[in-house]
A and B are shown apart, each in its own frame.
Chain A
Amino acid sequence: MTIKILNAIIAVVGGVLGAIVLYWLLNKLAELLPGRWEDRVKPYLFLLPAVAAISLYLIYPAIQTLIYSFANKNSTAFVGFDNYTSLLKSQNFQNTLFNTLLWIIIVPAAVIVVGLLIATLADRLGPRGEKLSKTLIFLPMAIGAVSAGAIWKFVYAVRPPGQNQIGLFNGIFTGLGGDPVNWLQLSTLRFNSLLLMVMLLWMQAGFAMVLLSAAIKGVPTETLEAARLDGAAEGTIFFRIVVPQIRTTLITVFITVLIGVLKTFDIVYVMTNGRSKTNVIAVDFFNQLFTNRNNGNAAAIVVMLLIIMIPVLVFQVRQFRAEEAAR
């Protein structure tokens, strides 16, 4: 334990000192240059370490992954598009893609709706009630996905008929006279996937609520009063006056959650590990790489994930810029 703490301290102190020394050296280097060149070159010199780190840890692996995706299992020979074609043909991977699509369609929208609902309702409580309810709803944010898995396993848990049902769902279900159901194996209409999505919703709704609530409070009251005088009903005011004014926050939340969804791994890994048709792309990748030890397939999956994400990222960057410009 002490060793660990010591290590951590050394790492922090060493890292900071190292950075200081590095930048000091770079500065000295720049000062060697004559006159105006010093000012011209300095910014680039200072950017260098960051750019180098990003290249080393992000760009290089991305390129390497792209290359591996065209190579075989052990990355010893190129196989062209074989990894892609075989993946896309396989029933399992089609299933994974379909699930991922479901997650993308359902979760961000659901998070927004639930977040808005809670934010709006909490806004109508007294100051204390609002604080308390918001804190409670925000709490799951602080819980890691694996811990959340531990909690929700108890919600969905199943025991053979006759035994005491320790799961919340089955407790209620058998209490109402039903037979215990193994919820996480219930793949009809992807019900089990929906149950997993509920977990992410539970974890992210608080985040959405906090941002949306702040945005709703930022909407000038006078515009609401003006609308009221203009004869608008509460629903009309909400959808025609409030929502358009918090649009940028809505989009920010939507995209943040969407990216979270595309990266969803832990919930599925912990709860089902992709069994019973609940697989999603990140879990599939993990299993291809570490269970099947198939570098080629794993890399191809990641490349496909990347391709799905690029438009989202581009949109997000654009949105961000538009927001900056609007300021």
Chain B
Amino acid sequence: MAAITYDRATVQYPGAERPSVNALDLEIADGEFLVLVGPSGCGKSTSLRALAGLEAVADGTIRIGDKDVTHLPPKERDIAMVFQNYALYPHMTVADNMGFALKISGMKKEETRKRVEDAAKILDLTEYLDRKPKALSGGQRQRVAMGRAIVRSPQAFLMDEPLSNLDAKLRVQTRTEIAALQRRLGTTTVYVTHDQVEAMTMGDRVCVLKDGYLMQVDTPRNLYDKPDNVFVAGFIGSPAMNLIDVDLDGDGAVLGGRSFPLPRATMAALAEDGSKTATLGFRPEGVRLVGEGEGFPFEVVVVEELGSDAYAYGTMHTSRGTEGDKLLTLRVDARKPPMKGEIIHIQINPDEAHAFSASTGRRVSGDAAPAPGGGATRVSQA
């Protein structure tokens, strides 16, 4: 087990116009479960493969523990990877799949067998040890892939969307199991997913990537409560945060013909680059219903009832007609949801509102200290 460090690591595929991973700075603590998350094509797999030694690092360094592995071949890095499609050896039995690494490392047969059986017990695979991967279900194959990683007791586990080939129910169950297994083994793990729910539920910390740039690394809680920028704000959370482009007046944002006051520090920060506009963000649960005449009018277009929760989708008019027509999401009382077409009045909780600079996309609300090590310098609006 070891800590992992990306030190301004850049990866560019041959023939590609721009790097797929740009000067990635990331420190992963020993034993940590770190999740790389971001939309498809943002460079998650590439970052992971660079760490595994499957892609060449063009610039910067990668260290595992104290060892600089930037230019070492995969087999000298002592890490195990779980692939999206599992990459099981189709011609080998489950036991041979799991024991392959040990076997070629010259481990004694009995010792290999014992380790494989131990791992199989943990993963509930004992009765399948003599089967070929073809004769297993998706979930079982996934577990074999996990088993292949854990029998080696490597420095780190790398997992590239290991759950994306499972059905929804199994995915939820397996993600808990993987997280529990990782805590039990205490092996440093880098886990790639495009699913922010997976990221939030599994990671000790979550690293959000976009277009090859690091957007923010933090605990799930902090990502949710204090997103560094518009992109993270819109990406983390389901349903997503409401983001509205607003005009600024003297002491706040103009919303529905009224002013939504913003803290003075925020206004000062927003005014710094002389901009008259900003992006206002609030989560679906960051509002409360108020009586007519108070707050902002909100026209309900669709209501989604999920049992424990209900969400109302609708429009709120800002000073700019077009922007205001974007559907916003509110969490409403599941027992008494508003009717479709109804006009309700809402107030945004001031301490749950976020203001983002229109020019940089960075959050400037209250405590908006720039995130440490945030490699992102430019963030376009999502």
Residues in chain A within 8 A of chain B (CB atoms): 220, 222-223, 225-233, 236, 240-241, 244-245, 247
Q: Please name 20 further chain A to chain B contacts, defined as beta carbons within 8 Å, in addition to the given A226-B87, A229-B77, A245-B90, sorted by A numbering.
A: A220-B87, A223-B89, A225-B87, A226-B83, A226-B88, A226-B148, A228-B53, A228-B54, A228-B73, A229-B53, A229-B74, A229-B75, A229-B80, A229-B81, A230-B75, A230-B101, A230-B104, A236-B104, A241-B89, A244-B91
Residues in chain B within 8 A of chain A (CB atoms): 52-54, 73-75, 77, 79-81, 83, 85, 87-92, 100-101, 104-105, 148, 152
Residues of B within 8 A of A228 (CB): 53-54, 73-75
Specify the chain A residue showing the minimal Cβ separation from B92: A244
* Bound form: Cα–Cα A118–B211 in Å: 40
Which residue of B53, B73, B81 contacts A226 across the interface (Cβ within 8 Å)? B81
A244-B91, A245-B91, A247-B91 are known contacts. Are A222 and B83 too (CB-CB below 8 A)? yes
* Number of residue pairs A-B, CB distance < 8 angstroms: 62
* Bound form: Cα–Cα A149–B7 in Å: 64
Interface of B is mostly: loop
In the complex the two chains form, is A222's CB within 8 Å of B75's CB? no
Chain B nearest CB, measured from A214 CB (Å): 17
Chain A nearest CB, measured from B162 CB (Å): 12
In the complex the two chains form, is A232's CB within 8 Å of B104's CB? yes
* Bound form: Cα–Cα A240–B74 in Å: 18
* Bound form: Cα–Cα A230–B52 in Å: 11
In the complex the two chains form, is B100's CB within 8 Å of A227's CB? yes
**Can you report 7 residue pairs joining A to B where beta carbons are below 8 Å apart?**
A223-B90, A225-B83, A228-B73, A229-B79, A229-B81, A230-B80, A247-B91
* Bound form: Cα–Cα A247–B91 in Å: 10
Chain B nearest CB, measured from A91 CB (Å): 47
* Bound form: Cα–Cα A225–B52 in Å: 10
Residues of B within 8 A of A230 (CB): 75, 80, 100-101, 104, 148, 152
* Bound form: Cα–Cα A229–B101 in Å: 8
Specify the chain A residue showing the minimal Cβ separation from B83: A222
Residues of B within 8 A of A222 (CB): 83, 85, 87
Residues of A within 8 A of B83 (CB): 222, 225-226
Residues of B within 8 A of A232 (CB): 75, 100, 104
Specify the chain B residue showing the minimal Cβ separation from A225: B54
Chain A nearest CB, measured from B53 CB (Å): 8
Chain B nearest CB, measured from A111 CB (Å): 23
